[in-house]
């Protein structure tokens, strides 16, 4: 299985209402290639079955979405997360440690 496929398989494990991080996915894959994980998620052809919108930055901020860090894609990511019950204020996930899914 190639690297992107491994990232997508891991991402599918993140439950609705939770978020994970590029770092947590990297730990699950025994990889520190966090930027490559982000690029794999950017190229995700299986959304929403592979819920890449559930991946955030390790500091609790929203992170990127669809290759963007601001604008309409981030508003869309925020909306998707809110629909799943994740509370967000000022582009940060509220109660991030409790919302974090660890593999």
3-state SS track over the chain: CCHHHHHHHHHHCCCCCCEEEHHHHHHHHCCCCHHHHHHHHHCCCCCCCCCHHHEECCCCECCCECCECCCHHHHHHHHHHHHCCCCEECCEECCHHHHECCC
Ordered by start, the domain boundaries in the chain are 3-99
Q: Write down the pLDDT at residue 84.
A: 97
- Please state, rounded to an integer, the average pLDDT across all residues of the chain: 96
When pLDDT is cut at 50, 70 and 90, the band that residue 99 belongs to is: very high
In terms of pTM, does the model score above 0.85? yes
What's the whole-number mean pLDDT along residues 46-57?
A: 95
When pLDDT is cut at 50, 70 and 90, the band that residue 34 belongs to is: very high
Q: Write down the pLDDT at residue 87.
A: 98
What's the whole-number mean pLDDT along residues 33-47?
A: 95
> For the structural domain made of 3-99, what CATH number should be given?
1.10.10.10
Q: Which residues carry out catalysis?
A: 52
């Amino acid at each position: 299985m190639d690297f992107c496929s491994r990232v997508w398989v891991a991402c599918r494990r993140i439950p609705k209402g939770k978020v994970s991080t590029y770092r947590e996915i990297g730990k699950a894959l025994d990889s520190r290639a966090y930027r490559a994980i982000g690029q794999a998620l950017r190229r995700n052809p299986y959304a929403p079955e592979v819920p890449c919108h559930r991946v955030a930055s390790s500091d609790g901020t929203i992170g990127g979405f669809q290759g963007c860090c601001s604008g309409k894609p981030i508003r869309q990511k925020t909306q998707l997360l809110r629909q799943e019950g994740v509370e967000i204020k000022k582009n940060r996930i509220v109660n991030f440690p409790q919302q974090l899914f660890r593999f």
